[in-house]
Structure 1
Amino acid sequence: MPIYAIHCIDKPMQQALRASTREAHLAYVRERMDQLLVAGPLLDEAGEPIGSMLLIEFPDYRSAVTFAANDPYARAGLFASIAVTAWRQVLPPREENQAG
């Protein structure tokens, strides 16, 4: 299944909104644990969250965009930007990439 990178940047000064919607966001992402490669916050130089990044499998681009749009963080208006792009792992090699 194709992998998509979901890269989101928070609007400035939205720490309270991020904190208040964090549990709903985590529950939403956990619903896709079987598709998830990695997920976590983007951090500023002080180690404070300024966005989110996920690498997650979806059957197609539209499914990835729909997932990103329905994230509780996105629905709450936390993000200034959301980018969804197809991604392919090269290193370290995944088992499925070594078949052949």
Structure 2
Amino acid sequence: MLYAMIAKDAPGALQKRLDTRPVHLDHLKSLGKKLVFAGALLNADEQPEGSIVVFEAETLAEAEALAAADPFVPAGVFASYEVKRWRIAINTTGVEF
């Protein structure tokens, strides 16, 4: 099953985001096939203002644990985040989930 973490950055968190990004990326890479895709939400100035991360997990609890383990969470980059069950409606990538 797929789950999406939708996160909004805390005001003024850009420097925290930049400082934490290397360990954040290492963490995402360590998830292997549990990570479907991830990326920053951008504002009108093309600056990060949040993130979307899609996990493959057996349960909501597992997906929530994966989200909570993201180094951006304890670093205070996110003002808020939520994890929701996500279903693909259209997939033009050719990748099956």
- Fold match (TM-score > 0.5): yes
Runs of 5+ in structure 1 lacking a partner? none
The answer for the alignment partner of 1:19 in structure 2 is 18
Alignment map for 1:38-77 (pairs within 5 Å) = 38-77=37-76
The residue identity in structure 1 corresponding to 2:68 is: A
Q: Distance in 2 between matches of 1:44 and 1:92?
A: 25
Q: Deviations over 1:58-83 (max 9, x none)?
A: 11100111111111000111111111
Specify the alignment match of 1:31 in structure 2. Answer: 30
Quick one: distance in 2 between partners of 1:72 and 1:38? 17
Which residue of structure 1 aligns with residue 86 of structure 2?
87
**TM-score of the superposed pair, with normalisation by structure 2:** 0.90
Query: Secondary structure of the equivalent of 1:42?
Result: strand
CA distance in 1, matches of 2:45, 2:11: 15
Following superposition, which runs of at least 4 residues in structure 1 exceed 2 angstroms of deviation? Answer: 92-96
Task: Provide closer, same or farther for how the CA distance between residues 78 and 95 of structure 1 changes in structure 2, counting only shifts above 3 A.
Answer: closer
Distance, in Å, in 2 between the alignment partners of 1:4 and 1:95 is 15
What is the RMSD of the two structures over their aligned residues, measured on CA atoms?
1.4
Q: In 1, distance between residues paired with 2:86 and 2:14?
A: 29
Contact 2:14 2:77 in 1 (8 A): no
Structure 2 unaligned runs (5+)? none
Paired with 1:95 and 1:49, the residues of 2 have a C-alpha distance of 29
Does structure 1 conserve the Cα–Cα contact (< 8 Å) formed by 2:40 and 2:50? Answer: yes
TM-score (norm 1): 0.87
Q: C-alpha displacement at 1:33, in angstroms?
A: 2.8
Q: How many residues align?
A: 95
Local SS of the residue matching 1:34: helix
